[in-house]
Chain A
Amino acid sequence: MVNSVTNLGRSGVYDWVIQRLTAVILALYTLFLLGYVLATPDLTYDVWKDLFSCTAMKIFTFAALLSMCAHAWVGLWTISTDYLTSSAVVRFIFQLVCAGFLFTYLVWGFDILWGV
């Protein structure tokens, strides 16, 4: 048993499940957006605004945003523990920068979404 405090689920099993589940949500969201864009011939600002004003779409978008953050954290954490093994300080700084970016995206995305 190898422990790590910076890992998201604190367990390989949870990380594995989170990674797969968020991947499915992200794929569905991408496909939906792509389908929507293709199926809407004249995509004006109003149409786009209407789409995102609907609560269901807000929930879906927020779920995708959360998934993106969790998915990216699991992935980047793995990269940092694969390639940045010679110095724990460098690894921690890298993880802090990643966490900072992801947190910013989350709050910023939330702000945009609820501003619609």
Chain B
Amino acid sequence: MLVSIYRYNPEKDTAPYMQDYEITIPGNRDVMILDVLALVKEQDSTLAYRRSCREGVCGSDGMNINGKNGLACITPISEATKGKMDKLVLRPLPGMPVIRDLVIDMTMFYQQYEKVKPYLENNTPAPAIERLQTPEERAKLDGLYECILCACCSTSCPSFWWNPDKFVGPAGLLQAYRFLADSRDTMTQERLAGLSDPFSVFRCRGIMNCVNVCPKGLNPTRAIGHIRNMLLTQQV
């Protein structure tokens, strides 16, 4: 099978280029892209990519696979090639600076994440044991807390490409809503005030690329809609 991979080593190369590899998959099985990368690495040990858990939990191996962002470890070849099993094109996640080969610099992504204060804030005295939630209140966090910060969504979002320093992006906004929706958080007003400018939330144009690629099946666009409604009901 032909695998074409984006290569760039800033210490040696003046410009990025695509390198082709011909690999044989033992038993012609439908393995994951991460297994394909391991086979390529046996041929060429200079290839760099991130990976850790190899089961879609850590979020380190987000990359652009045949044009669509996804996690290499849980994307089978058949899915990436739409059943044709012919050719794989692997590139780093788009829109972010490349450190080397498939490894990108995620600083801007994390800065946006940090902006939304992704932790519980409560200014009431701490109870003796713990802050309780009803099962209904807890249910509101489903579909929000599961994010593994793989950046597949934000790096597929045109608004994030144009303004990665100003638009929080789908991943950050999903977390912003996760804490806005949490009954134990008391900083709702402050959180909303920090999001009401023309960029942080309102750069979302509802293109839904984020929903299309999220490997965990989450829906950032819906969360963004909820934030917008909260802002509207508060400020109109």
Contact = CB atoms under 8 A, between A and B. Distances in A.
Nearest to B166: A2
B162 A7 contact: no
B197 A3 contact: yes
A16 B235 CA distance: 12
Interface in B143-188: 159, 162-163, 166
Interface residues of A, number: 18
Say whether chain A's binding surface is mostly helix, strand, loop, or mixed.
helix
A85 B165 CA distance: 11
A13 B163 contact: no
Nearest to B161: A82
A81 B163 contact: yes
Interface string A37-72: 000000000000000000000000000000000000
B162 A12 contact: no
Dominant secondary structure at the B interface: loop
Contacts of A2: 166, 197-200
A7 B201 CA distance: 15
A107 to B, nearest CB: 27
Contact of B193 (A1, A9, A16): A1
Interface size class of B (residues with CB under 8 A): 10 to 19
A88 interface: no
B49 interface: no
B198 A7 contact: yes
Interface in B168-225: 193-202
A11 B159 contact: no
Q: Which of A9, A13, A81 has the most CB of B within 10 A?
A: A13
A13 B200 contact: no
Pick the most buried of A3, A7, A16, A78: most chain B CB atoms within 10 A of its CB.
A16
B15 interface: no
13 contacts: A1-B200, A4-B199, A11-B198, A12-B195, A12-B197, A12-B199, A12-B200, A12-B231, A13-B196, A13-B231, A14-B235, A78-B198, A82-B159
